[in-house]
Chains A and B, each alone.
Chain A
């Protein structure tokens, strides 16, 4: 595990209203309208704007690009990157690629489940963490790996999990106190 002092956290959409977010989706649609194969890039960037793809966003995209809603839905459900549920502030992804698996990645996952009290795909009640698994982040040489948003933690031991989670909870607590 490596200590890092610079934690990533997305602040871009924290305080924006749904209306503003939707208008950004509309801009996105306008940019792509008429292009071949636009649906998936629009869904990807739409999810980046909204954090997930609720029905209202899927409808907007369907109407905007002139693609039937059932087809949009079919694509959203096919690809594992698209989520129809809101996600936590921090997305924890545990690598379950071959190298991480044989180097105890599963124990790391079990420990995370235990400490967060959620299963894979679920979000904690305080909307702080979503737990997910990934299939190889391409850093197998350093297995086992987890990613918390864009921060990579490598060669992890289950016993180190507590400290990592704490480091994400703390700024939250400080922020609350500051309020």
Chain B
């Protein structure tokens, strides 16, 4: 269902629309005969479109087409278990579905009222592939969901992002109505300050204070920007919010617009997110049609509108001054601050810039009060944070927890531990500006202060778990290379410093490391941190410095022993075939891209080391465990 909503002329009328929508949604028929199917980006990639079609077909076949609705929702969270589907009032949770499973669900569950247990969620008891899988059919019983607290993702996965009425039914635009119905700019600010919300885009600057600066810049024309550039290459929180609940961002921005006195906003979305753009575009149109954007919103005299601008593939455009330059049609190069955007931003006008997740929190804060929001989290860091769990973790996906939750709780209790029963090595948090947290700090609460003390940052919410097969020197090299490619080149310390660091680290991973390299990396890194113009340069050395701090022994193994303990750095590993185990099946020889494997059918095979490029293909394809790597 992707309905629209007629123009709503007053706050009172909004309330009436809401009551009607709640009643419609709450009628018993609607609850029991609803199939929610995740149409988040992850599930689409896993084939949810085809599962949806199969469900519709099967419902049609049984003449249930108009009795049972299939609701397309945003990300439900456990992307790795996709395509996922929830059925009925008690929310039976189906995972890893194939089109063929649709008929079974319709016949047995929808018609017969019996949950199809073999298709439901399973808890894998000890994380290994062979471990027994215990079915947990109902969402309410699943650990992954039970331990989360959802404020930002309050609607994500529960409503159709294309339906403004479903958003309104779940208290959507109610906060905007409340604000426009008699609150002053100071009232809103006071709630924002009380909430203690800090910017979720990485910097962690108190949102209330930022709004205050923008209020205090006198100018009849001001702009509101939303940063949806999501540049951290391991993060998909903002994407999921835009795809799953676009109206929450629109509402947050409209409240911001009212508070600082702005009537025009822009959302800057990265080009890699076409689906987010499509859904946001529809949401903006629907909000306009409903009189919740545009002239004279809800008949209160307040006018505010939004436009989308798309990025063009430059990480540095996530930095606020570069983002502004990019919207202006320039090269996205940062400029020095002050003046801050709150004083002089887009087209030289006072500009408020916040992140997607920051805005999505705003309606909840205004509706429930700043004190309510501040009751979540820790002494100094309030509310919840959304994390994108990825890497060597069992249940990768999207989770939201109170700030201050420990790494262990997120990775083990919610994420189900390490994939394939391997050993945990590090959690990378904060992306290319962040750091790697080793095992001994797994019980550290994730909040701004604790992370800074460990040489990492909260960042925007990317949390990549690494196991024993990951080389920490190679990870540091990966981030440096990323930053070198993405540096805009405007200032020398960043441009030349990062390149020099990359040269050294490349040398180390290629077996040319020398004593003194580690110290030189540290010295240059600290120099860049101090001298670079923008946040990109200032934080670029963090991954290197944090891995040196916590995994120095791996650097030393590369430099002194010319050995890569994780068998990742190609120049430092060698592949071999165990003649005893080799059955002579010839598969590896067929697959080897450089014909480096010799041997005859049914005879033992061997690798010609000169020709081997250490691609690992033979290891992947051998079914007899005969290939090993050192």
Contacts and interface: CB of A to CB of B under 8 A. Distances in A.
Nearest to A151: B45
Interface in A62-102: 67, 74-75, 78-82, 96-99, 101-102
A179 interface: no
B478 A81 contact: no
Contact of B396 (A37, A137, A142, A150): A142
B617 A158 contact: yes
B329 interface: yes
B431 A98 contact: yes
A134 B326 CA distance: 20
A41 B50 CA distance: 33
B389 to A, nearest CB: 7
B397 to A, nearest CB: 5
A10 interface: no
B462 interface: yes
Interface residues of B, number: 66
Interface stretch (A12-20, A23-31, A106-114, A168-176): A106-114
Contact of A134 (B47, B272, B613, B620): B272
A139 B236 contact: yes
A2 interface: yes
A17 B557 CA distance: 60
Interface size class on chain A is: 35 or more
B236 A138 contact: yes
B309 A98 contact: no
Contact of A74 (B79, B327, B331, B615): B331
B392 A102 contact: yes
A141 B478 contact: no
Contact of A36 (B82, B271, B347): B347
B388 interface: yes
B41 interface: yes
Nearest to B310: A44
A87 to B, nearest CB: 14
A40 B314 CA distance: 13
A2 B47 contact: yes
Given A75-B329, A152-B44, A136 B272 contact: yes
A79 B270 CA distance: 12
B311 to A, nearest CB: 8
Given A107-B615, A140-B236, A142-B396, A135 B231 contact: yes
A111 B615 contact: yes
A43 B327 CA distance: 13
Contacts of B274: 150
Contacts of A128: none
Contact of B326 (A38, A40, A82, A159): A40
Interface in B111-149: none
Interface string B76-92: 00011010000000000
A141 B396 contact: yes
Interface in B219-277: 230-236, 239-240, 271-274
B620 A143 contact: no
A98 B397 contact: no
Of B274, B389, B391, B479, most buried by chain A (CB within 10 Å of CB) is: B391
B391 A99 contact: yes
A-B complex: 5 closest residue pairs judged by Cβ atoms:
A98-B234, A97-B233, A141-B79, A79-B312, A141-B396
Interface of B: 41-42, 44-47, 50, 79-80, 82, 230-236, 239-240, 271-274, 309-315, 326-333, 347, 388-392, 396-398, 428, 431, 462, 464, 466, 470, 475, 478-479, 482, 488, 591, 593, 613, 615-617, 620-621
Given A74-B331, A98-B233, 12 more contacts: A37-B309, A37-B329, A82-B312, A102-B470, A103-B392, A107-B616, A135-B315, A138-B235, A140-B234, A141-B236, A152-B44, A159-B617
30 contacts: A36-B347, A37-B309, A40-B326, A75-B330, A75-B331, A78-B333, A79-B311, A81-B313, A98-B464, A98-B475, A99-B396, A103-B392, A111-B593, A135-B272, A136-B230, A136-B233, A139-B45, A139-B79, A139-B236, A140-B388, A140-B391, A141-B80, A141-B236, A141-B389, A141-B390, A152-B44, A154-B45, A158-B615, A158-B620, A159-B621
